[in-house]
Amino acid sequence: MKKIIALILALAVCTAVFTGCTVKEKEESTTAEVVEVTDEASEEEVSEEASEEKTDAEQSELEALLANADGKLADIIEAGTITIATEGAWSPWTYHDETSDELTGFDVEMGKEIAARLGVQADFKETTWDAILSGVQSGRFDIACNGVGYTEERAESYNFSEPYIYTKQVLLVGADNEDITSYEDLKGKTTANSVGSTYAAVAEEYGATVTNVDTLDQTIELLLQGRIDATINAEVSYLDYINVHPDAAIKVVAKSEGEKVAIPTAKENTDSLVKAINLILEDMRADGTLTALSEQFFGGDITNP
């Protein structure tokens, strides 16, 4: 009988020990999970704090730059206005709302935001594409917000901001055109684009003869009438056109990497202005403004390479 009692007691002790071990293991596991979750949360918080600190630092740098402005930037601050060249006829970049006739578009709203963060008013001057860059170069306009592509050749004559949009370009032909299927097929053909545009330059590089036009609508009209064989343009502009004219008898036959789109200023006395714009663009990236505008007007985020 004593042996039986002793055996029962021994089993009870083992059970208690085993249960205790299991509970301890569960407690340690739960603790580990809590620590892991806490670590993840901490990483997110650190990332957010770092982003906020970066934005604050950029804001402080911008404030210091504006307080000690020189050159063109000083002139803009003194005038209380920044003059911005734009076409007003190139949706979704810059155009007039059909209902209100108000000037809007991605570049227009971005220009307004840049002006606001500089602490001045935005004064938009609508003009043709070929007058935009010459007007910036002569000082008639402070900057241009009009989907201007950065090229090394242009950089010899203008100061550019950092890119804020990265586009793709498309080769468009009539829906029944079977002769052109690639850029190489443009040799000896006719295209249409704004004079001085990078799209016109690309067409000429492939051997096409370029007809000069002012707007995308004019380009597509020539294409539909059969007066030109093809045209090269921004993919986002084509998609916007098709959204409004879904039955247009045109098609994409080739696509390639397009341009880094940036803001041009005159070459002289604009270093501080370009630096201020770059700080503003970086701040707009950090706080989501640039992405929101891209999604609003282009239907997606094309602000990164």
Q: pTM higher than 0.75, yes or no?
A: no
The DSSP 8-state label assigned to residue 90 in this structure reads B
State the pLDDT confidence band at 57, using cuts at 50, 70 and 90: low
Tell me the pLDDT band of 38, cut-offs 50, 70 and 90.
very low
CA 112, 144, 258, 170 dihedral sign is positive
User: Phi and psi dihedrals of 124, rounded to 5?
Assistant: -85, 135
Higher pLDDT, 40 or 274: 274
Give yes or no for residue 250 having a pLDDT over 80: yes
Position 296: which residue type?
Q
Provide the pLDDT for residue 225.
96
* Cβ–Cβ under 8 Å, residues 164 and 281: yes
Q: Stretch 34-41: mean pLDDT, rounded?
A: 44
Q: Cβ distance 180 to 232 under 8 Å?
A: no
pLDDT tens digit sequence for 86-140: 999 999 999 999 999 999 999 999 999 999 999 999 999 999 998 999 999 999 9
The answer on pLDDT for 260 being more than 80 is yes
Half-sphere exposure (Cβ direction) of 8: Cα atoms closer than 13 Å: 5
3-state secondary structure of 144: strand
What pLDDT digit, counting tens, does each position of 166-180 carry? Answer: 999 999 999 999 999
